Amino acid sequence: MPADADAPRGAPPDLSLPALREQLWDELVAAVGQHGHPWRTPVLATVCLAADGAVAADARTVVLREVDAPAQELVFFTDARSPKAAQLAAHPHATMVYWSPALAWQLRLAVRLTLEREGLAVSTRWARLKMSPAADDYLSPLPPGTPVAHPAPERGTRAHFAVVTARVERMDWLALAATGHRRAAFDADGARWLQP
């Protein structure tokens, strides 16, 4: 694990576990509202099946759209036809990975994913999004990953917008510092410090 000049920006705070947990949720809430915040664009890792049927892993960046700390839920949007949508339908357990160079904090969240394609949760968010340039992401006539002759994006009229809710089941926090790394876990069994 590196503790070089590029990563740590000071020692991790000397916090109690409950205060740390609160600070992690505060940081996630802050990330939604700050475009440059590194935790706004976590990596989402899912389980998939390879062509030969073997269990495999997949991962990609998503934008964190909403955080409900009391409910321990996060929201991101996707195209309902995307491979990740099929993956999470088959295997709803996933991991989200966040790294903040400013804090020198890594946060790994074990989550259970639920995808909604219709209903109030979808229509209210699509109503807000559809007038923005981001709407194009959900209006392609072709599903994500389809081979195309030319790389120019096409805009259709039918939206394939889906809302994915990630319920957090476990948080694994790692702080890098030259004075000593710190690690803690939070889950249904409680909170505890871990050997980094």
Ligand X SMILES: Cc1cc2nc3c(=O)[nH]c(=O)nc-3n(C[C@H](O)[C@H](O)[C@H](O)COP(=O)(O)O)c2cc1C
Which stretches of the chain bind ligand X, using CB under 6 A?
41, 58, 60-63, 76-79, 82-84, 144-145
CB 192 within 8 A of CB 182: no
Query: Closer CB to ligand X, residue 84 or residue 182?
Result: 84
Query: Closer CB to ligand X, residue 5 or residue 55?
Result: 55
Any idea what DSSP says for residue 138?
G
Query: Closer CB to ligand X, residue 82 or residue 182?
Result: 82
Bridging pattern class, strands 161-175 and 66-68? unpaired
Tell me how far, at minimum, the Cβ of 69 lies from ligand X, in Å: 20
Tell me how far, at minimum, the Cβ of 46 lies from ligand X, in Å: 7
Query: Closer CB to ligand X, residue 107 or residue 115?
Result: 115
Torsion-angle region of 110 (φ positive above 0: left; ψ -120 to 50: alpha; else: beta): beta
Distances (CA, A) of 124 to 4, 28, 31, 127: 45, 22, 22, 5
Side-chain half-sphere exposure of 35, counting CA atoms within 13 A: 0
Distances (CA, A) of 136 to 118, 189, 194: 18, 42, 44
Tell me how far, at minimum, the Cβ of 44 lies from ligand X, in Å: 8
Tell me how far, at minimum, the Cβ of 78 lies from ligand X, in Å: 3
